Amino acid sequence: IQGYRALSHGKVILIGEHSAVYGEPAIVLPLHEAQLSAHLKIRNDSVRTIDCEYFHGLIDDAQDNLRNIQVLINRLSRDFSLDGVGFDLSITSSIPHARGMGSSAAVAVAIIRVFAQLAERSINFAQEFEYAQIAENIAHSRASGMDSAAVASDSAVWFKRDETISTFGFETPGILVVADTGITGQTRTAVSDVRSLMQSPAMSIAHKAFEGINRLGQLAYDCAQYLRQCELSQLGIAMNQAHDILSELSVSSAELDTLVKSARNAGALGAKLTGSGRGGCIITLAENGDKADTISHALRKSGAVRLWQVPLISKGIR
């Protein structure tokens, strides 16, 4: 029996969560250290099964929480002329779910890649992105596309809503430490709470929220420059500022603040929440590997349930 395997990876937002919703730019990094694999075995009948963390059985029997995958697979089958082909699809992932690490986009991208192999089609980044968005728009109504872009890209992504996605290159000696609070994030409520602040009838509250969003946008431009010029301490300061603004926008949490404080006390150049907040992960910047180990140790003691160390390098090509 023939088998096909395709990989994808997670992502972290370096800067620009929440402000991206309002058209400000964001920098998103692929997280190659958190991987997902889709394995597909052809059957000699037309039965289609899926085996993943949440469901094992016939794809057609999956409940609403796999509708994104059902719709994507139907679309790929049609576009790639695979209707009637039966298979057993299994997904294994080291990307924790609902932590702002792009786990749902990673499932979609790996499935797209494994179907492309099966159909002997070569698909480019733009096509992967378009297909992934079919699934993401179902999983997270009105997904900005940031996750699909970063998960389909091997390099850092410069993301601005409704504009062409570009990637860019840099090479720094810095290490990004990603730490998971172990708590599920709440993207929908966090995004809608920020919107409530922006639309607050109290002018001072609305004005402050607008200022925060604009400032986050400016910080994204600054960070792109700091990355290119390898100005790590400036980058760290910008990350700290972003976290403080996100806290004012009400999307941090006690657990996120504890980890951010712990990283800063352990010598991080900067630390901030990443993703929609209220749970999920923080990212923190270490000057080098030794510092990253010290910070990781402190974060573990402060309650981080999982850690990744990521070199702050991007090839800048897809």
* Residue numbers at the binding site for ligand MEV (CB under 6 A): 17-18, 20-21, 100, 143-144, 146, 187, 191, 275-276
190: enclosing H helix or E strand: helix 187-198
The least CB distance from residue 164 to ligand MEV, in Å, is: 17
3-class SS of residue 268: coil
The upper half-sphere exposure of residue 40, i.e. CA atoms within 13 Å in the direction of its Cβ, equals 23
Closest CA to 304 of 253, 247, 259, 240: 259
CB of 22 to ligand MEV, least distance (A): 9
CB of 266 to ligand MEV, least distance (A): 26
**Entry field: residues in the chain:** 318
**How far is residue 97's CA from residue 77's CA, in Å, rounded to a whole number?**
26
Chain residue whose CB lies nearest ligand MEV: 144
* Residues facing 171 on adjacent strands: 313
Both tokens of 256, joined, read 């996120």
Question: Are 9 and 37 within 8 A, CB to CB?
Answer: no
The distance of closest approach from Cβ of residue 129 to ligand MEV in the complex, given in angstroms and rounded to an integer, is 14
CA pair distance 87, 39, nearest whole angstrom: 10
* C-alpha count within 13 angstroms, C-beta hemisphere, residue 130: 9
- Comparing CB distances to ligand MEV, the nearer of 22 and 55 is 22
Quick one: 20 or 310, whose CB is closer to ligand MEV?
20
Minimum distance of ligand MEV from residue 83's CB (angstroms): 33
Give the separation between CA 158 and CA 170, rounded to whole angstroms: 12
Nearer to ligand MEV, 279 or 292 (CB): 279
C-beta closer to ligand MEV: residue 75 or 195: 195
Q: Between 76 and 245, name the residue whose CB sits nearer to ligand MEV.
A: 245
Minimal distance in Å, beta carbon 41 to ligand MEV? 33
Q: Which is nearer to ligand MEV, 172 or 187 (CB)?
A: 187
Which one-letter DSSP state was computed for residue 184? P
Strand partners, 40: 4, 89
Q: CA-CA distance, 99 to 81, in Å (whole number)?
A: 35
Pick the closer one to ligand MEV by CB: 17 or 128.
17
Could you tell me the smallest distance in angstroms from the CB atom of residue 187 to ligand MEV? 5
Q: In angstroms, rounded to a whole number, what is the distance separating the alpha carbons of residues 23 and 21?
A: 6
φ/ψ (deg, to 5) at 150: -70, -30
CB-wise, 232 or 275, nearer to ligand MEV? 275
Closest distance between ligand MEV and the C-beta of residue 72, in Å? Answer: 19
